[in-house]
Chain A
Amino acid sequence: MVSRFDQQKTKHQLFHVSLSLATILICMTYMQYRRNWAYLGNFWDSLVVPIVFIGELLKVVLARFYGRIEDGVLTVKQRQKKAAYFTARELAGGFTLQFLCTLLYAFSCIIFGAPVLGNYEETFVLSLLMTLLTVSPTVFLLGGGGALQVCFCEKPDFVTKCEDTALNLFKYNALGGILGAWAGSVVAPLDWGRDWQVYPIPNIIGALLGSAMGNIYACTHVLYATARVYMTKKRA
């Protein structure tokens, strides 16, 4: 497989990665601007969730934008899928899936040691963020049913090439987010007595940083592949 800078796929990948990094950078800047950490676990007060939401939406738009040139060569199934994107059934399915996912994440937070009674808002914000980082992009791209299939089955045949590229990148984002949120708890037991050691804050920041790391890793992969092609070409 060849990849060059001027290729559509590579461009898409690089734009995608820079979009994710920009989202996280904006989040960080916002946090820096607010200076106070305590609001992070607040649903109405914190802008982190909306920022991430917009970022993910933009990524999907990007994928659609690059997918537009493939429109001519779509198979019947892919065409059907595309036509069904905005139907009520798909929308409801997608929404339900995300809601269930949020519940699942909230449950995970609790079994990992969040208080069973109380701190509901914090747990909700954290699980919402996790859903946005992991499941939502796929759902936005493919709809509820499609997302389920992508998660549990081998690659379904209605996924276009361009969507496939995006899905691959979403994977890094999601894995990084989960690992980051999990590893964020490392500071919780320390006795430093800082205000940012309170429950959802390290996990939220960990999730953001983790997904950033995942994106950086993906970026290096892409760049490495391109560089290798470039070098071999030059040598030849």
Chain B
Amino acid sequence: MNVTYLFVLIWLAFLICSGVLLFSRGFLLARVSKTETSTCRRLSTNPNDEYVLTPEVVNEIFKDVNASSNLCLPQKSKVIILVVDALKYEFGLYKSNITEPLPYENKLSVLQQLLERSPDQSRLMRFKADPPTTTLQRLKGLTTGSLPTFIDIGSNFASPEINEDNVIDQIVKSDLPLVFLGDSTWTDLYPRRFKRAYSYPSFDIFDLDSVDNQIMKHLPKELVSDDWQVLIAHFLGVDHCGHKHGPLHEEMARKLTEINEIIASVVNGMDNDTTLLVMGDHGMTASGDHGGDTDDETNALLFAYSKQNKFFGSDSGSDSETLQQIDLVPTLAAILGVPIPYSNLGLINFNIVPDVAVPHLSKFQTLLLHAWQNAQQIYRYFFKYAMENKRTFDVQEMDKLETEFILLTHRVQTIYNGVAYKSFVRDLNTNLRDVLSTCREIWVKFEPTQMSQGLLFCFLPIFFAFLLINNSRPADYPKMFQPKGISYTYLLNLAAGVFGYRYYKNFSFKTEEHGVIFFTAITSTVILSFYTLKHWTNIASNWANIRRFGHMPTRLLLFSIMAVFFSNSFVIQEAKILSYLLVAVILLLSYELLLLSARFDFRNKFKASQFLRSTALRLILASILAICFIRFAYTLFRCREEQGNCTDFATSNTPGFSIKKPGTGKTYILAVVIIVVYTTLTRLYLRSCGNLTGSSPNVLLARYGPTVASICAGGHVLLANSSIKNIQRTHIDAMALVIYGLLLLQIIVLSWAPLMTFVLPPRNPNILTVNGHDSIVPEIFKKMKRMYEGDDDAERRSEIPIVYGLATVYSSITITFGIFLAMMMIVLLEPRAAIGLVICVAVGAILLSVQGILRYRTATSFESCVQPTFTALVGWFLLAHFCFFATSHQTTLSQIDWRAAFVGRTSGIGQSNIISGALVILNTFCGPIFFFSMYALLSTETFSLFALFPSLIRSCSNSGRSGSKTDPAAAMSDIANEAVGFDMTRGELTLYEYEDVFLGAGFKLATQFFMLQGLKIFCAMLACTIHCRHLMVWKIFAPRFIYEALATFVSLPALMVGYVLLLRINRAVDTLIKRINKPKTQ
């Protein structure tokens, strides 16, 4: 019957996750990046080379132009590219008739002079960027010629290096030396490509000058040297000035004047066969920021100048007003005579290609060859992409484009003069622009419908779960969720899903997925609201009982957790903020405890000696210990780039690679010691609970398994990181494999015979048992005396079965499972991070004991006793997320610990990617997984604590009634009974007696965690929506969202695992009790 709750949990988890998935589909636009590269045969003018341009070759080419795609025409000139970050189009326009120019107007006068002096050798164009207009994405676009999206699936997460085909790589491959000066983003994207690189970090946004000054220092001497073919300089000052002061500040005038001087000096210094390109990578808004897709941000400036060669004129068929940024790539390729990168979507714009005559080719033939090679390349890429990613594009549109292209392939054979070329190239360009716009539609825009629906569908189930489950009592759940009702819910959802899958087109959804999610979410919302309405009276009356301003500090804490997502500075410092809040939670708990126990213990006079002996003091000392642990975890945090002085990102000789410092020997030793201490302590705890007695399979496993696991984990830590060379990898792997095996074994044992109890065989009263060293006479005497007195009571008492470990029957199994899980994670984590995990476990244990005692003292009934306090709930939730940071993780995409995928697998066992992914996920989200699958301890630990230390009950209740002297031994259960209405000394067996309420409470607890996690991911999504035009959206908010989404996908199932564990144990206890009771009733 109680499996019903599980299905409700699965349903809620599905709803929340589908909302998140829908949002991410709208927000994170995915493009699969291809690693293929283009190649070509360079036709040389030098007669000694392999492929020489001769009249015969030209004839050959024009026999079949379609076969010419793998030929490159010779290089036309050298190129100097000056990228001025955020150089808006308006900055370069010269308005001659204004008397008082704004700070950004008329500052680039050299452009105007050149345009006037030699109009055929200079061009000023609008340089249209594709959003997102952030520098990194723009540079990707400017070099690959494709539309960049946030996640290029298949690209390398670990470093920002671009592995898609791009113009820089093509230039390097063609042996044209490159020199680079300026923003280090380039060297991050293209490490080791440049012959010489003078790169400077772009991190400090308020520093207007240092990068530019460095460039100016090196630029003149580079201009003079003639060992490069391409020179790139990237100036940051204008962009930083925009961010700091905005475009209307005097500083902007100064920076632009500086740029003007630089351009002038470069124009003077460059030789005759060089083309100069001055460009901005994006514009800026009126406030000086960028990132979005307004005209202000996308309109950058492009200025081209060549000293001697004229540019191709307007008869080339290219647009002379505007240049798409992606068009730069094929244009550069044409100028330099290198192959056009494989995934380019831009068109060659001949307005900025110098008209250098190619021998044996007429002008229109040159243009035709270039244009046609470009077209062939685009179609090759487009069809290949569409083929491999089906359903990305609309089939009809694909057909139309393909037909047009085939027509063009026939037409290209028949062009013999300039006029025919002009009309042909016009049609060709239209066609290729169609291809581009088809791609752009898919890759560039956010999809507001999907985002808003994702937000809504994530919020609704949380809201209704709050109304329905959080505001009802656990005892009401069996009435509320009947198996029949839930199965109908599933059927309805299935029907809605099928409907959505079948008819998604009729509702103009793009994918089946969207249709399915939309209709199931709508159906589920209707069902949930139906449930809510049905039980509204109940809910309302329960709601009325809640204090209006109760738990105010905790609510404040919760609010702060959620507020973290909305500011980039908070996201950057999240690790410290979480530990700050966690410390506050623990202090709050211990303050409440101190208040309560002070009330109880010292009614009239404060006595130091009594205080020193009290449990409260011990607990407070324990909390202080926990807080010290948390403070120690500061040293385990991984820093991120934005924090500054982060050694992970200290760029040394190889820019773009973060060098991981190997830990010192001390760390390894400490890790091993901590692992051993952890296993020993848990073992001691379990033994003192009596859970390690007997020989049931789980007991045996719990007795020997952790020891073996900790030895293996310790060995793995030491050997895997040792500098000794002659250890075979298989030996190290074997240790990890043993731990994996133990976890598997534990899972099997759990599903087969989970109980860790030992039923003492009943003594037969008629048989005398005599120990070896006791003498036999007293035993006989006692027996006779008993028979003489006819003590029925004693006889009966001996029939009561003795069971070891029944008082901790629930928690012991959960804890044992936890050890094996933790051991698995320890092997996966780095030694440093393993310390963090164990620290978090220790903090969790202290939190549990403090909350247990607090709960008992504030409880009024069994029902309230089994539900943890709200503060403890938030504390546990915080701890799970704090553990993520304590285990040396950070929410940036470059800091994922990929090493975990190879633990125990170097020898080639299980090469599947799924296992690798699972291991990395288990490593990254070890905190949420561990703590959420152990969540049941929050409600069971109160009981086991009081069963273990019965004196606690007395200490907190005799203070309630001072003076009434009771018989210590007999009255213990009475005292407990009086205090909370049930017998606390029986430990977790009480839980079984109130089975319904207990399982309901477990379910409620799980949904409460669902709500907290749901709220968190909702806030993350909301922050992304609000900040989708923010400067840092792709660097900070989007990665944070991705991490949170993954954490949600992982932690909701982890909570369900915790609940399944609870159900399984409950069933086993059920059979055990029935088995014990059976002989008695007979």
Interface on A for B, CB 8 Å cutoff? 108, 110-113, 116, 145, 148-149, 151-154, 156, 179, 182, 185-186, 188-191, 193
Contacts and interface: CB of A to CB of B under 8 A. Distances in A.
A109 to B, nearest CB: 11
B630 A111 contact: yes
Contacts of B553: 179
Contacts of A179: 553
B603 A182 contact: no
Contacts of A149: 605-606
Interface in B534-575: 553, 560, 567-570, 572-573
Contact of B580 (A110, A112, A148, A190): A112
A185 B569 contact: no
Given A113-B634, A189-B572, A156 B580 contact: no
Given A111-B627, A182-B584, A152 B602 contact: yes
A111 B633 CA distance: 11
Interface in B630-683: 630-631, 634
Contact of B606 (A111, A152, A182, A191): A152
A112 B599 contact: no
A191 to B, nearest CB: 5
A176 to B, nearest CB: 13
A191 B569 contact: yes
Given A111-B627, A190-B567, A156 B576 contact: no
22 contacts: A108-B587, A111-B627, A111-B631, A112-B580, A112-B583, A113-B576, A113-B579, A113-B580, A113-B631, A113-B634, A116-B631, A149-B606, A151-B598, A152-B611, A153-B604, A153-B606, A156-B604, A179-B553, A182-B584, A185-B580, A188-B573, A189-B577
Nearest to B634: A113
Nearest to B553: A179
Interface centre among B206, B569, B579, B606 (most CB of A within 10 A): B606
A145 B206 CA distance: 56
Q: Which 6 A-B pairs have the closest CB atoms?
A: A189-B573, A152-B598, A190-B569, A191-B569, A153-B602, A152-B606
Nearest to A187: B569
Interface of B: 206, 553, 560, 567-570, 572-573, 576-577, 579-580, 583-584, 587, 598-599, 602-606, 611, 627-628, 630-631, 634
Given A111-B630, A153-B605, A156-B605, 14 more contacts: A108-B587, A112-B583, A113-B576, A148-B606, A149-B606, A152-B602, A152-B606, A153-B598, A154-B599, A182-B584, A185-B580, A188-B573, A189-B573, A190-B569
Contacts of B606: 145, 148-149, 151-153
B580 A193 contact: no
B189 to A, nearest CB: 25
A111 B583 CA distance: 8
Contacts of A113: 576, 579-580, 631, 634
A153 B570 contact: no
Given A113-B634, A152-B606, A189 B576 contact: yes
A116 B577 CA distance: 17
Contact of A189 (B569, B584, B587, B603): B569
Contacts of A151: 598, 606
Contact of A110 (B573, B599, B603, B631): B631
A134 B603 CA distance: 23
A111 B570 CA distance: 19
A149 B598 CA distance: 10
B860 to A, nearest CB: 21
B11 to A, nearest CB: 38
A193 to B, nearest CB: 7
A192 to B, nearest CB: 8
Contact of A154 (B584, B587, B603): B603
A125 B1018 CA distance: 41
Contacts of B572: 189, 191
Interface centre among A113, A116, A151, A189 (most CB of B within 10 A): A189
Nearest to B611: A152
A180 to B, nearest CB: 12
Contacts of A148: 606
B718 to A, nearest CB: 29
Contacts of A189: 569-570, 572-573, 576-577
Nearest to B604: A153
Contacts of B570: 189-190
Nearest to A146: B606
A158 to B, nearest CB: 11
B832 to A, nearest CB: 19
A145 B605 CA distance: 10
Nearest to A110: B631
B1079 to A, nearest CB: 53
A197 to B, nearest CB: 10
Contacts of B605: 149, 153, 156
A102 B288 CA distance: 48
A24 B504 CA distance: 65
Interface centre among A110, A179, A186 (most CB of B within 10 A): A186
A32 to B, nearest CB: 27
A152 B241 CA distance: 59
A111 B604 CA distance: 33
Contacts of A108: 587
A111 B634 contact: no
A111 B584 CA distance: 10
B563 to A, nearest CB: 9
A110 B627 CA distance: 10
Nearest to B626: A111
A154 B627 CA distance: 29
Contacts of A185: 580
A148 B602 CA distance: 11
A157 to B, nearest CB: 8
Nearest to B570: A189
A110 B632 CA distance: 11
B21 to A, nearest CB: 31
B640 to A, nearest CB: 12
A186 to B, nearest CB: 8
Nearest to A183: B556
Contacts of A182: 584
Nearest to A145: B606
B414 to A, nearest CB: 63
A104 to B, nearest CB: 10
Contacts of B634: 113
A148 B598 CA distance: 11
A154 B577 contact: no
Contacts of B567: 190
A231 to B, nearest CB: 24
B630 to A, nearest CB: 7
Interface centre among A110, A111, A113, A153 (most CB of B within 10 A): A111
A147 to B, nearest CB: 10
A179 B591 CA distance: 14
Nearest to A185: B580
Nearest to B568: A191
B583 A154 contact: no
Contacts of A110: 631
B747 to A, nearest CB: 38
A154 B628 CA distance: 31
Contacts of B603: 153-154
A51 to B, nearest CB: 28
Contacts of A153: 598, 602-606
A57 B496 CA distance: 72
B107 to A, nearest CB: 28
A154 B604 contact: yes
A154 B962 CA distance: 14
A188 B574 CA distance: 12
A127 to B, nearest CB: 15
Nearest to A153: B602
B301 to A, nearest CB: 30
A212 B573 CA distance: 29
Contacts of B599: 154
A152 to B, nearest CB: 4
A25 to B, nearest CB: 26
